[in-house]
Every structure is written in structure tokens, then in C-alpha cells.
Structure 1
């Protein structure tokens, strides 16, 4: 029985994944590196520290660029835009959150993002009051695709993992939810699901309105 719904943030609640990709491409260009958007997909759903480690290894033989500094510059780029222009909500965010509240589901958020970015996004859109618990990648030792941040969210909600439904846009997020023993639905953003992910999810939706239809049938 589903008692709680746990949301990812970037790419699911807010249209920010492309912004993070743009930040990497911009930062790489300052070092004379022509990074493709596909090269930014490697770290979707990962924590900042995991992204630093990935690109440090990815560019270890390239003297032009330090992968850890690349990610630090990306974060500065993104934070500047989020604090000035702000993020854009994805379709049906308000509707699905209100539906969950009206039907007495617990609502959690499990994001690889930093705590400051999570609250900045939620507060700018007036959404913080919907969430009963928030878990950040900064609070756990291992980020997605490990289950730690999802299990932390479940503990904060006081709900068993088997009674949690995770909403994700990333492959790493779906795998992490599966490892946590939770059901999941994928709403793809930049990356389409592969065969492994398709075997894990309840279904792949077009947008968050599909989640409402799914839960109404339960």
C-alpha cells in the first residue's frame, strides 16, 4: 500500500537539469574544451561531490582542465541563475502536490542537490509547505544510484520503504529507489529509460498528471 510519495527535484519538479548541463558546457568552454551535452548526462542525478570525482577521472589525462574545478564553476553558474532568474516549474507540479495532500499521502523530497538549492527552489515557488520531509545528498555518505537518500527520506517520513512511491526523471534515481525497496515511476526529462530501468518502474509517464491517474486507480 502506498502511504508516501517521494519526489526527486531537478528535472522532475523544476526544469533545471538542462541548466546544469549548460553550466558544465559553459565551464568547459572557458578551459578551451568543447563538451557535448551528452557528456553532461553522466552525472544526472548524482551529488556534487560524485560529479566532481567523475569529471576528475574523466579529464585526468587532459592538462587543460581540472574536473573538480569544472563542477565548482558549474555550480557558481547555476546558483547565479537560480538566485536571480529562478527556476521554472515542470507541468502539473501544483496539481499533483495538492492531490497528494487532499488524499492524505505523506510527501517527501529526496534530491542529490544541496540543501540550500532545495530550499531556494521550493521557497521561490511557494511549495515548501507541501513537504513533510526533505532529504539532501549532502546528508548521506553515498549518493544516487545508492539508496541512502531515499531511505533517509523514508525515515524522516516514518514510513516503511515498501510503502513509498518514488517519482524520478533520472536513471540513477530509479536505480536508487529500486535498491531502497521502493516502487517508482519515471517521468523522463533529458534521458529516456533503458531496458534496466524499464524493468524496475511501475510505468514511464509523460508528465506528473499521469501520477494522479495512477494513484486514483489504487
Structure 2
């Protein structure tokens, strides 16, 4: 794909295998404070890829749970600290695709609904921060995914036309944001529940090795 000059990666579930980490820290909080039990499949189907604000609203709308962003932020951040986010592993072939894209002269950015502290902790631990020109994180935008704002910001930072950019996402939330910004998007997921919601993607892959083969 010679026309592609830059690749914009999502973080959670795309470059890092973080969804089970988030689930394993949210579930005890939901059980202890709200007597709610969800499965990992529930997490993937209902919560993954969304912001804290959306998930707090979703808890109230679907289960009548009265809580606040401030409370859930405090509880989840404390849980993440105890669990140590540095234990989150990379997705298979994440390091290699970044190395290969860099060697091929492709520019790389990160567009995530996670905060910069998460990016710094996890990608910093794995020594990958240097591959990215910039990080569009939650605190840098007003509207997070599925709003197009994060990808519109990334497009502006790259200074390239959308046709020369490719987004790599693993959730319908991210896919919608990228496509609404005018970008082509490759969906990468091994989760059946996500793949069923990603059929509108321009390309569908099971792993980053396949993305690497397509691009290079």
C-alpha cells in the first residue's frame, strides 16, 4: 500500500493486550459496591473501547447504578496501581510492526481514549514510546471516540490528506471515529463479539502480523 504514508494506531486491544486487565479490575469494584457481576464477554461487548464517562452512564442506564465519574476514577485508578499496569503485555507482533513501519519510512501516531499516564506507563515499560510522532490521548480532546475529533486532530498533526493515512482499530467505537474522520481503517480483533461489529471496516485482520503483511 504505497499510498499510505502514515499509520495511526489505537492502543488498548490493538497494541497492548489490556482488556482482561481492565475487566479484572472493574469487576471486583462492581461486585463490591453495586452487587453487579459481569463476565469478560460482557466487558468486551458492553464496555471495551468506551470512555469512563460513557461507562458510568451505561451502568446507570442499564442497571440503575448510581455512581459518578469521580468515584469510579478513584476506585479504578487505585485498582490499576495495585495490579501494576506494567504487567500488561503487548499484542502479538506489536513491537515488530512498529519496527518494520519505522524501517520502511512510514510515520506513526497513536490515537487512544486512554490517558497519557497509561501510554507512558505501558508503552514506556516496553520501550516503544520513541516510535510515535505524537499521542492523541483522552485529555487532549473534548470528544473522545466514537467522535471523530481524535482522528481529525491526528490528521492535522500529520499534515497529510486522509487518503494517505490508515487507522488500526479493534473496536466499533474506534472504527466509527476513524471512518467519520474520512480515514480508511483496518479492524484487527481475535474476539468474535468484536469482529461481528467490525464488518464495515475497509479491511479485516485477525492480528498485527497480517496488517504488517498488507502494508509492507
Query: What TM-score do you get using the length of structure 2 for normalisation?
Result: 0.88
1:4 pairs with 2:6? yes
Partner of residue 48, structure 1 = 52
> 1:203 and 1:49, CA in 2 relative to 1: closer, same or farther beyond 3 A?
same
Would you say how many aligned residue pairs link Structure 1 and Structure 2?
210
CA shift, 1:98, in A, is 1.0
CA shift, 1:14, in A, is 0.9
Unaligned regions of 5+ residues in structure 2, if any?
none
Query: Contact 2:152 / 2:181 at 8 angstroms: preserved in 1?
Result: yes
Query: Contact 1:143 / 1:149 at 8 angstroms: preserved in 2?
Result: yes
Query: Contact 1:48 / 1:113 at 8 angstroms: preserved in 2?
Result: no
Partner of residue 128, structure 1 = 129
Instruction: Indicate the RMSD between aligned Cα atoms, in angstroms.
Output: 2.0
Task: Tell me whether 131-140 or 182-191 shows the greater mean CA deviation.
Answer: 182-191
Partner of residue 78, structure 1 = 80
Alignment of 1:1-218 (within 5 A): 1-31=3-33, 32-41=35-44, 42-60=46-64, 62=65, 66=67, 68=69, 69-70=71-72, 72-83=74-85, 85-190=86-191, 191-194=193-196, 197-199=198-200, 201-216=201-216
Unaligned regions of 5+ residues in structure 1, if any?
none
> 1:211 and 1:121, CA in 2 relative to 1: closer, same or farther beyond 3 A?
same
CA shift, 1:120, in A, is 1.1
Query: Contact 2:190 / 2:206 at 8 angstroms: preserved in 1?
Result: no
> 1:8 and 1:100, CA in 2 relative to 1: closer, same or farther beyond 3 A?
same
